[in-house]
Chains A and B, each alone.
Chain A
Amino acid sequence: MSATTAQPAAEVRPPRRAGLLRRLLRDPGAAVALVFAVLIVLAAVFAPLLAPTDPYDNDLSLAMQPPGSPGLPLGADSQGRDMITRLLYGLRVSLLMGVAAVAFGGSIGALLGFLAAFYQRWLDGPIMRLMDMMLSFPAILVGLAIAAIFGPGIFSVVLALSIATVPLMARIARSSALVVMRLDYIEAARATGMTDFRLIWRHLAPNCLSAIFVFGTLRFGQVILLGSALSFLGLGAQPPTPELGAMASEGRNFLFFAPHIAVIPCVVIFAIVLAFNVLGDALRDALDPRLRV
């Protein structure tokens, strides 16, 4: 009866699987988004080298010059500052705020969500009621409170946006963890006698990643917009610090005479949000071993 155990499998090795990057680039939309995102990040990092002028250099004689004016391909803002320079420096602030808030608030939120789902009996009620309380405060209100405590500035914005992200991420993480918790492999993991920490880290969290990734990228766009709103209210980036949202709201006053001042930062925000959404979606697919070819 040993025939059953000694069943020889064909000794044909499969070709090496493509790496993460190659899988990601297989989707043309994702490739475009990735290239754009990398360019955006590089532009933000190397802004001082790329910018033709100083971001605080103003020349009122050039105020509201339209795009295509000599020496000003994207025109100038109401203070006569080069839009290209302002955009490059604005990217730095906006991206930094978005990344910091999503990473910080998102990881705390995800952890709380996992704990609520894993220790459902004891922690689910307390954690999720706390999250509901946090959800009931609008992000703007949180921003106001924090600005009142720490003073307006980028740190306050990041803190406020993180706090606003925690309960949302906790809900996403909890609901996808609850689904995973019911699967047999979680029970199998528990039956091997591993610690709860290992169970959560190795078995629960990785299988909830796709929902977290997608929400994280969506949230990244929202956070950039929210950060701009806070800047507009005078709680975030203080003028003359360039910031995409602040630039857009500044240009709002000149929408009829010089629409480019508001429109260009908005188009950049739109493009960033779109690129990161497409990228997050493609990344989720590329990270999922079930979809590997």
Chain B
Amino acid sequence: MSAAEILTAPERAGHEGASPLLEVEDLAKHWPVRRGLILARQVGTVRAVDGVSFHLRRGETLALVGESGCGKSTTARLVLRLIEPSRGALRFDGEDITALSGASLRRMRRRMQIIFQDPYASLNPRLTVGEAIAEPMLVHGIGDAASRAARVRELLGLVGLASFHAERYPHEFSGGQRQRIGIARALSVQPELIVCDEPVSALDVSIQAQVVNLLKDLQARFGLAYLFIAHDLAVVKHMADRVAVMYLGRIVEIADKRALFADPRHPYTRALLSAIPHPDPARRGRVKPLGGDVPSPMNPPPGCRFHTRCPHAAAICREREPPAVEVAPGHRSACHFARELPPAGLDFSGGLTPAAARRLALFASAGRPAAASV
């Protein structure tokens, strides 16, 4: 059972009332671009992340989606204070962590962990799996050697590996197994927040399901909050409670997953959603793919950043930057026409006949235990 399924509606409402675990306000990261060998002049600024605000509640999954280079991963690293923000504020559990440093920052790191995209690069090849999983506990002075070893065995079991795997080295494992080792390492210090930086995009599709289900399982068990970076909307639809769509360093739309998929109020979100392949020949020709490229973050277009590719762009879009407007409770969209946009005209049920949809659902429910036990 996943958290989303366990929690009933009133419980969810209660969660929403509680103070958020993570609050991000106007966060920005600008990288200077320098030219010249000896006297490097700054010739420009890459606005990788340019004023991002969101919050994340305990036990919740917020997905950050967007094209490559839109600033998702930079946002993730900013949240973890692995890189220094150029602007903005970070609050974790009510405490301002924007300026933490030294020992207090290291203590804070225990409460938020990260899972990486590339399971081959994220484990130190010189440490055994046991050493890698025990190290965060050692660093934070948790337990003694024996209790840490016991905890390593427990964690390995939790992620579906055997306790004797602790003595092995990372290169002896497959990509999916390594990803689960990375998850065990992140869990070892019992964090409250885990940043998942595209945790399944480097894995085979069959393994993706395992890892995603494992993550949901662990969330239900330990009440973890996930900041889930992804570009695969199918995975997001399965994982997330809320979704934030990023474009060129900004969040253009943020909403509850259901609201976002059912009634997207930003043209970019619509373009992303319409790019999901559907097994429906009748849809062919009705979907217009987005033309053009993402503009350079060194020189973002004036006004709305999306106007160069937007099918609904008007004069105002070229001149004024759209503020994020609340189109429904918890649903904000940064578009001048957020309220006026015509119905999306996309049938996200997949455009299937009801009978075919039922058959597919049956197939999915029958297939799941088989897929999970691979």
Q: Is B373 an interface residue (CB 8 A)?
A: yes
Tell whether, in the assembled complex, residue B82 and residue A187 are in contact, meaning their CB atoms are under 8 Å apart.
Answer: yes
Among candidates B77, B169, B210, B217, residue contacting A2 with C-beta atoms closer than 8 Å: B217
Residues 207-248 of chain B, each 1 if its beta carbon lies under 8 Å from chain A, else 0:
000100110111000000000000000000000000000000
Tell whether, in the assembled complex, residue B125 and residue A290 are in contact, meaning their CB atoms are under 8 Å apart.
Answer: yes
Residues 114-130 of chain B, each 1 if its beta carbon lies under 8 Å from chain A, else 0:
10111001111111000
Tell whether, in the assembled complex, residue A185 and residue B122 are in contact, meaning their CB atoms are under 8 Å apart.
Answer: yes
Q: Is B369 an interface residue (CB 8 A)?
A: yes
Minimum CB–CB distance from B253 to chain A (whole Å) comes to 29
Q: Is A195 an interface residue (CB 8 A)?
A: yes
Tell me, in angstroms, the Cα distance from A1 to B171 when the chains sit together: 29
| A9-B160, A9-B165 known; A191 vs B113 contact (CB < 8 Å) | yes
Tell whether, in the assembled complex, residue A1 and residue B109 are in contact, meaning their CB atoms are under 8 Å apart.
Answer: no
Q: Is A26 an interface residue (CB 8 A)?
A: no
Q: Which 6 A-B pairs have the closest CB atoms?
A: A193-B109, A9-B162, A193-B106, A7-B160, A184-B122, A192-B136
Q: How many of chain B's residues touch chain A, expressed as a range?
A: 35 or more
Among candidates B139, B164, B217, residue contacting A194 with C-beta atoms closer than 8 Å: B139
Tell whether, in the assembled complex, residue A183 and residue B372 are in contact, meaning their CB atoms are under 8 Å apart.
Answer: no
Tell me, in angstroms, the Cα distance from A292 to B167 when the chains sit together: 14
Tell whether, in the assembled complex, residue A194 and residue B125 are in contact, meaning their CB atoms are under 8 Å apart.
Answer: no
Tell me, in angstroms, the Cα distance from A202 to B138 when the chains sit together: 13
Tell whether, in the assembled complex, residue B124 and residue A203 are in contact, meaning their CB atoms are under 8 Å apart.
Answer: yes
- B80 (CB) vs chain A CBs: closest residue: A191
Q: Is B189 an interface residue (CB 8 A)?
A: yes
Q: Is B46 an interface residue (CB 8 A)?
A: no
Q: Give every chain B residue within 8 A of A206 (Cβ-Cβ).
A: 124, 126
Q: Is B257 an interface residue (CB 8 A)?
A: no
Given A1-B2, A4-B372, A192-B140, 5 further pairs, Cβ under 8 A: A11-B164, A14-B168, A189-B135, A190-B82, A192-B136
Q: Is A289 an interface residue (CB 8 A)?
A: yes
Tell me, in angstroms, the Cα distance from A190 to B82 when the chains sit together: 7
Tell me, in angstroms, the Cα distance from A202 to B82 when the chains sit together: 19
Tell me, in angstroms, the Cα distance from A248 to B169 when the chains sit together: 48
- B218 (CB) vs chain A CBs: closest residue: A5
Minimum CB–CB distance from A229 to chain B (whole Å) comes to 36
Q: Give every chain B residue within 8 A of A192 (Cβ-Cβ).
A: 109-110, 113, 135-136, 139-140, 185, 189
Q: Is A22 an interface residue (CB 8 A)?
A: no
Q: Is B12 an interface residue (CB 8 A)?
A: no
Among candidates A9, A13, A194, A288, residue contacting B161 with C-beta atoms closer than 8 Å: A9
Q: Is B1 an interface residue (CB 8 A)?
A: yes
Tell whether, in the assembled complex, residue A3 and residue B372 are in contact, meaning their CB atoms are under 8 Å apart.
Answer: yes
Tell me, in angstroms, the Cα distance from A203 to B113 when the chains sit together: 18
Minimum CB–CB distance from A128 to chain B (whole Å) comes to 14
Q: Is B35 an interface residue (CB 8 A)?
A: no
Tell me, in angstroms, the Cα distance from A289 to B131 when the chains sit together: 14
Tell whether, in the assembled complex, residue A289 and residue B2 are in contact, meaning their CB atoms are under 8 Å apart.
Answer: no
Tell whether, in the assembled complex, residue A290 and residue B169 are in contact, meaning their CB atoms are under 8 Å apart.
Answer: yes
Q: Is B108 an interface residue (CB 8 A)?
A: yes
Q: Is A6 an interface residue (CB 8 A)?
A: yes
Tell me, in angstroms, the Cα distance from A192 to B185 when the chains sit together: 9
- A2 (CB) vs chain B CBs: closest residue: B217
- A199 (CB) vs chain B CBs: closest residue: B139
**13 A-B Cβ contacts within 8 A?**
A1-B2, A3-B372, A3-B373, A11-B162, A183-B121, A191-B82, A191-B112, A192-B136, A193-B140, A195-B106, A207-B124, A207-B125, A289-B171
